[in-house]
Structure 1
Amino acid sequence: MESISTQLTVTAERVAAEAAERVLTAREKVLAGGSVLVDTKSSETDVVTAVDRESERFVRARLAELRPGEPVLGEEDGGELADGGVTWVVDPIDGTVNFLYGYPWFAVSLAAQVDGVSVAGAVVEPVSGRRWTATRGGGAYLDGRPLRAGTPERLELALVGTGFAYDRERRTRQAGLVASLLGRVRDIRRGGAASLELCAVAAGWTDAFFEHGLNRWDWAAGALLATEAGAVVHLPGSAPDLGEDLTFAAAAPIADALRAALAEGGSARI
């Protein structure tokens, strides 16, 4: 018999994949010369499109059919975590700026959480069709293939991902932190979609990822993937020496060294 968490993962993958198909159709129309309504949120560079909103409305409607009565927390229409029971956490397009520019690194991210802890999740890429899934205690997978985080020998050989806030002053401080790290790692990557950055750690495509200021929908599914693949993960509020709102995932062999390097670089002051 399937566990409840496994059933939730199946639902997360199904709904995220259906939403991803709709996002892909919208993208193809835009690339063919169509237009998409664009608005801004926290700043001129923090954008939301009509496709984001339509994708979230679709996810909410499908979950209401498949898992009636379970609340949804989403980037566009908000919501709250349930006190006990399952809450669904959705980012209808993670990497909206990439989507808007035609850059194919974006995804639909959907996780099921119980008491704020992810127990099931799926991240689906509309363009490539890749499906990343994880179940708490049941492993992490890419298109059904099990994932394991990398095993870099030392920090100097680690490929590290990061991201930046939309606020100009905070971005400047974050750039200073990255500058302090550049001479201590193999290289830095910045893809622009936190869920996929966390999936990349799970796959061993990168050795670590850190970013300040992420919201729950940014990490709910991806952090579960990284954890289940064996990475060391610190979610916002769990590593005060790095800052109260830092999300951190790293391959086990370099996790302590990276944490120390970030602390030394002033991560807590970002």
Structure 2
Amino acid sequence: MNEDRATPAQLLAIAEAVVAPAAAQVAELRAGAAREVSTKSTETDVVTAADRAVERQLVAELRRRRPTDAVFGEEYGAGGDPAGAGGSGVRWLLDPIDGTVNYLYGIPWYAVSIAAEVDGEVVAGVVRNAATGDQWSASAGHGAWREGRRLRGSTETRLGHALVATGFGYQPARRAYQAEVLARLLPQVRDVRRLGAAALDLCLAAEGTVDVFYERGLQPWDHAAGGLIAAEAGLTVAGLDGAPGDGEMFIAAPPALFGPLHDRLRELAAAAGP
């Protein structure tokens, strides 16, 4: 393969090849002694030895296959990976365990998430639930898939009948503000689910198991793969007021629900606060 000419399908094939052994390692480490815990931004923002070990494995395998690509991982370095930025135009975004708190407590809702960007645009992504083996994937222009089934998102058209997935940040003041927003949104939707792994939540939105997803405070590795999967399933993926989906606000919803949810979140100043 010519590294500099890799297609989205070729990059997805690489992501799928490396995600399965990484997810297996996650499961093996949980059964062993790799749940040693430290914290990052706050006392509730945990990271385990498994997060770091799995990311090292992912980086090593990507290095072997595509040595001149850049890598941007949650544990490998928020500043990116200058040693791998060799001009290929490809950057890998890695979350070795999305849903670390679930992993720590044995709740079977945590995943390995891998996405590939080309010149800043996400073109391939895969999310694999390490507890169950369920896997979702997408490449730009080729749809979103789960186990050979193409995903189309929810057919719900009324916000009042929508099941909403969301999450909270780790800073106490931000959490409190997000809870206030959610409390005001809740009477206007069917119900809310907070499952604890944004990448998997986006996959549920892509397949229509939940109707919409929104969250403030996501990092690129949180939403890169899941966001592409949602978009390729036909969902509108964006932020507020025409901004791209990012850390300020990330919304994924079917077109019929995106406008009503967007407008309500704007009315609630969901992107404001701490």
Decide: shared fold, TM above 0.5.
yes
| Counterpart in the other structure of 2:135 | 131
| Counterpart in the other structure of 1:214 | 218
| Counterpart in the other structure of 1:184 | 188
2:20 is the counterpart of 1:17: yes
> What is the number of residues matched between the two proteins?
265
Q: Specify the SS of the correspondent of 1:268.
A: coil
| Counterpart in the other structure of 1:172 | 176
Residues 130, 8 of structure 1: alpha-carbon distance in 2 compared, 3 angstrom cutoff: same
| CA distance in structure 2 between the aligned counterparts of 1:18 and 1:173, rounded to whole angstroms | 39
Q: Specify the SS of the correspondent of 1:221.
A: helix
Q: Specify the SS of the correspondent of 2:102.
A: helix
Q: Specify the SS of the correspondent of 2:168.
A: coil
C-alpha deviation, 1:243, in angstroms: 9.0
| Counterpart in the other structure of 1:158 | 162
Q: Specify the SS of the correspondent of 1:269.
A: coil
Structure 1 stretch 44-53 or stretch 2-11: which is displaced more?
Answer: 2-11
Partner amino acid for 2:189?
Answer: V
Partner amino acid for 1:266?
Answer: A
C-alpha deviation, 1:10, in angstroms: 0.8
| Counterpart in the other structure of 1:264 | 267
Cα RMSD after superposing both structures: 2.2
Uncovered stretches (5+) of structure 1, i.e. residues with no partner: none
| CA distance in structure 1 between the aligned counterparts of 2:152 and 2:42, rounded to whole angstroms | 37
Q: Specify the SS of the correspondent of 1:226.
A: helix
Q: Specify the SS of the correspondent of 1:23.
A: helix
1:64-83 aligned within 5 A = 64-78=63-77, 79-80=79-80
| Counterpart in the other structure of 1:58 | 57
State the 4+ residue runs in structure 1 displaced beyond 2 angstroms. 79-84, 235-240
Partner amino acid for 2:187?
Answer: G
Same amino acid, percent of matched pairs: 48
Uncovered stretches (5+) of structure 2, i.e. residues with no partner: none
| CA distance in structure 2 between the aligned counterparts of 1:229 and 1:35, rounded to whole angstroms | 35
TM-score under structure 2 normalisation? 0.91
Residues 224, 197 of structure 1: alpha-carbon distance in 2 compared, 3 angstrom cutoff: same
C-alpha deviation, 1:239, in angstroms: 3.0
Q: Specify the SS of the correspondent of 2:126.
A: strand
| Counterpart in the other structure of 1:46 | 45
